[in-house]
Structure 1
């Protein structure tokens, strides 16, 4: 590291990097631009850092199930699988820890991945979220760096709490998610006893072409239950596959877990005037402003016959959308739309969608040919280009994505709103006295092992900015003077 001290950050071709915090977008709220070569190089390299297990979400469990519509929301979306009350759609779910390796314990303090696939009649729709409504960062350019802090130090090959808290303390947008992670919700009692969220803002469009912003909430019908830090640590030693085992045998015994899906709906024009940036994944929409509207129920009722064939090879991607559902200008979502399928092409191969678990129910008709592990007839003798004069598949203009007006100057833009403290502070103040104490104890348990005092002080300042009592409690437990954090 000494020869790199205070050196300019560069690309792999030696070009200096002008902005490593914000992706290049078309205006402040515009989409991420493909010309951002630094982001593309950084993310594509990151996607290929681990072989063959997933770079993130390596340890997980899953099951088959069904989604049933219980409420008519066709005035908001023309998505076929949501088109009528009572309609049922086959689905697949995978739950996972984020940072742990394939052999890690299920009960680590970590967000849980909440990945769902709906095998609709118009293609696979994947909703790839977490058990938390927010995330640590809001720009995908920072994602490889964030995950590096969760992995092993290249010299010691050990996990580093110093790296974790150093990054968080220098990324104040992480405070909301850190507060959730260090609270009781940081370790679910089981996959069955946690909520799930789409986290990002998405866009729904109805049959008349009218669009709305939407957020997804899956509420567990089993009730939320969490583990204490002590219980989780004990289980990590006694049964590191505790959550995997719990899900499998609950389904095996006929105790099918279920979740109720509700959504928040925001008119398009509200986004420009809402008090928080509607596309910032570190913020939530108030349910007082946009109440939950029930959509349907998800029930998991069948275990996989073979874990590798079904769960390990399942290639979830937020890029998999269907008519009536589209993306918002959420920059983290745009980054994932690129990164997930790029990772799958590397991890499984370019023809990963030909695997049974990834195949849609409706026929695949396109001109993609060849590539490793091509397992079908490779298009046979049919025409292999488009446009053509031989009756090959043609585009369907009626299924174009909904248009979205964008304007602005192309550049490395940060979100204009930098209120990182209101929502974490509000969350802290909602906790009971016992919950506050456990939150502080969990934070101190991690921060006390950090090697650099400067990082402890900097992070404690973040807590203090969210809530005075929050910061003072952490400071006292770490023997940091209040003057140092004010």
Structure 2
């Protein structure tokens, strides 16, 4: 049986990864390790000889005696200068949010005819395939942070369409935390690290939630069973906004897009997450699945309303902090996204990728809410700071077709439009705009209220959570979260929960009382070394012999 498995795996390596292997010891190693840990071994199998002669960044061949600076003039060694100066500058600013992530390539395939709703070329023509790049991420963690925490998990998908790049930026819960884009910075600051202690501080987060109660609905999702998915593959994803779309006749519809996992959805308890204890659990799971040929996929669908339907609603369908009510929309299938190739280099692709919710295509005029307007500016501004003004000319962000009047700036500039005119309008045949006869002549103007509506949070607790166990786990997670915060703030949290639902507030209050009566946990066990008496300073302080 073991020999058969080795043979099958060898066949997989040959057919999928295009490598050959005959050494039984190597085969045994490959069979007992996961793809993420054998990447270098597989590289060597694909390249049985060195892939070339080492050079400097300017292309000069490096001679064998130049790979060391010992007993030589270091600053006459261009390889040394090249290596040291480059390493000093190889980091770029990390993202303000969703800093830690992993990227994968794939494609989108249309499975249903939606031409009556949108003229977007990418969504029309059953069987049509469009290349995509996806970036999966954790919201508040820094680079190198922990995947196994209760916070938003994101998926940003870039569709390389014939009409330009189309970006969807999603989170794994179907509601957002605020309606005013001015709240972005304080919301993020409250979820990130305390500027003095440098640790994640629940006092900051709960203080902000109680001061801005429109955060509560999203916070309930995070504290519930839905808050911690079992990896990136087993979660749904939601672009959050209500989008306007139109067909070739100019008829308008209003939709919320959903990416529904074909792997099913699974979630982890805090206890299970602690048992797993792998801070790279999400990244590792996605990478291994794709390398093993178990390609994750998501069905893309849209919940749809007509203009007439909008007029009959008793709630705001453009409110990001609430769900659409049952019976007020219908769900339309569009296609599926499949990720079938890991990035060969995560920095080149994932770290340099620049997604913007404002990257839209004809047939999808897009959202109209104030948060969207803020995001379409903020994302571009952040990319310019992080990657430079020419971030859309970086290979992973480059559209299939572009003709622009933007010039110069920090590289890459690519062909920089060569000798074409660099101003518009001009008389010398530079690129010109086109006319879209099906573009709607009017758009809705949304008037948004800053009134706090706790109804969506109450509906989540009473209707969306369907079992007593789900409600109890929500309460327990909340109690653990507020246990270390100041008493005054604990009372504010309980009051907000009670205003949302009396039963919820009572349970949290009682759970907190029980938790406060519990003795503190014992200190962690440590390994103590007891060195023998010795005059050796290092042995005395660090070693036991």
| TM-score bracket relative to the smaller structure | 0.7 to 0.9
2:476 aligns with one of 420, 428, 441: 441
The corresponding residue for 1:158 is 199
The corresponding residue for 2:107 is 66
User: Do the aligned partners of 1:276 and 1:283 also contact (CA within 8 Å) in 2?
Assistant: no
1:407/1:246 Cα in 2 relative to 1: closer, same or farther (>3 Å)?
A: closer
- In structure 1, how many angstroms separate the alpha carbons of the residues matched to 2:142 and 2:439? 37
Listed as ranges, the gaps of 5+ residues in structure 1 are 1-49, 481-486
- In structure 1, how many angstroms separate the alpha carbons of the residues matched to 2:191 and 2:510? 27
Tell whether 2:417 aligns with 1:384: no
2:147 aligns with one of 106, 119, 131: 106
Computing the radius of gyration from Cα coordinates, the structure with the larger value is 2
- In structure 2, how many angstroms separate the alpha carbons of the residues matched to 1:125 and 1:399? 21
Q: Deviations over 1:245-265 (max 9, x none)?
A: 100010000001111111111
- In structure 1, how many angstroms separate the alpha carbons of the residues matched to 2:353 and 2:424? 30
SS at the partner of 1:478?
helix
1:279/1:407 Cα in 2 relative to 1: closer, same or farther (>3 Å)?
A: closer
User: Do the aligned partners of 2:250 and 2:438 also contact (CA within 8 Å) in 1?
Assistant: no
After TM superposition, the score normalised by the length of structure 2 is 0.75
After TM superposition, the score normalised by the length of structure 1 is 0.84
The corresponding residue for 1:316 is 355
- In structure 1, how many angstroms separate the alpha carbons of the residues matched to 2:377 and 2:438? 19
The corresponding residue for 2:222 is 181
- In structure 2, how many angstroms separate the alpha carbons of the residues matched to 1:111 and 1:200? 16
Question: Which structure's residues are more often helix, by fraction?
Answer: 2
- In structure 2, how many angstroms separate the alpha carbons of the residues matched to 1:288 and 1:356? 44
- In structure 2, how many angstroms separate the alpha carbons of the residues matched to 1:373 and 1:61? 24
- In structure 2, how many angstroms separate the alpha carbons of the residues matched to 1:353 and 1:326? 20
- In structure 1, how many angstroms separate the alpha carbons of the residues matched to 2:398 and 2:280? 29
- In structure 2, how many angstroms separate the alpha carbons of the residues matched to 1:102 and 1:227? 22
How large is the Cα RMSD of the aligned pairs?
A: 1.8
User: Do the aligned partners of 2:150 and 2:227 also contact (CA within 8 Å) in 1?
Assistant: yes
Q: Deviations over 1:307-343 (max 9, x none)?
A: 0001111101101000010123211111111111110
Tell whether 2:295 aligns with 1:261: no
Give 1:447 shift. Answer: 0.7
Tell whether 2:321 aligns with 1:249: no
Q: How does 1:178-217 map to 2 (within 5 A)?
A: 178-217=219-258
Q: Deviations over 1:257-288 (max 9, x none)?
A: 11111111111344354222111100111242
SS at the partner of 2:187?
helix
Give 1:167 shift. Answer: 0.3
2:490 aligns with one of 433, 456, 460: 456
- In structure 2, how many angstroms separate the alpha carbons of the residues matched to 1:296 and 1:183? 30
1:279 aligns with one of 314, 318, 321: 318
- In structure 2, how many angstroms separate the alpha carbons of the residues matched to 1:400 and 1:417? 37
1:365/1:400 Cα in 2 relative to 1: closer, same or farther (>3 Å)?
A: farther
- In structure 2, how many angstroms separate the alpha carbons of the residues matched to 1:250 and 1:209? 42
- In structure 2, how many angstroms separate the alpha carbons of the residues matched to 1:297 and 1:438? 33
Larger mean CA deviation between 91-100 and 374-383 belongs to: 374-383
2:263 aligns with one of 212, 216, 222: 222
1:304/1:393 Cα in 2 relative to 1: closer, same or farther (>3 Å)?
A: same
1:414/1:249 Cα in 2 relative to 1: closer, same or farther (>3 Å)?
A: same
Q: How does 1:9-408 map to 2 (within 5 A)?
A: 52-235=93-276, 238-361=277-400, 363-398=401-436, 402-405=440-443
Give 1:414 shift. Answer: 5.1
> How many residues are treated as equivalent by the alignment?
422
SS at the partner of 1:200?
coil
User: Do the aligned partners of 1:323 and 1:399 also contact (CA within 8 Å) in 2?
Assistant: no
Q: Which runs of 4+ in 1 moved over 6 A?
A: none
User: Do the aligned partners of 1:276 and 1:417 also contact (CA within 8 Å) in 2?
Assistant: no
2:462 aligns with one of 424, 429, 438: 429
- In structure 1, how many angstroms separate the alpha carbons of the residues matched to 2:176 and 2:501? 20
- In structure 2, how many angstroms separate the alpha carbons of the residues matched to 1:162 and 1:381? 58
Tell whether 2:506 aligns with 1:472: yes
- In structure 1, how many angstroms separate the alpha carbons of the residues matched to 2:346 and 2:498? 46
Give 1:416 shift. Answer: 6.0
Give 1:400 shift. Answer: 8.6
User: Do the aligned partners of 1:67 and 1:296 also contact (CA within 8 Å) in 2?
Assistant: yes
- In structure 2, how many angstroms separate the alpha carbons of the residues matched to 1:271 and 1:450? 43
Q: Deviations over 1:424-453 (max 9, x none)?
A: 2222123211111111111011111112x2
Listed as ranges, the gaps of 5+ residues in structure 2 are 1-90, 515-545
User: Do the aligned partners of 2:475 and 2:507 also contact (CA within 8 Å) in 1?
Assistant: yes
- In structure 1, how many angstroms separate the alpha carbons of the residues matched to 2:229 and 2:443? 41
Give 1:407 shift. Answer: 6.4
- In structure 1, how many angstroms separate the alpha carbons of the residues matched to 2:136 and 2:212? 27
The corresponding residue for 1:5 is none
- In structure 2, how many angstroms separate the alpha carbons of the residues matched to 1:458 and 1:308? 43
- In structure 1, how many angstroms separate the alpha carbons of the residues matched to 2:267 and 2:130? 30
- In structure 2, how many angstroms separate the alpha carbons of the residues matched to 1:335 and 1:184? 31
- In structure 2, how many angstroms separate the alpha carbons of the residues matched to 1:155 and 1:364? 46
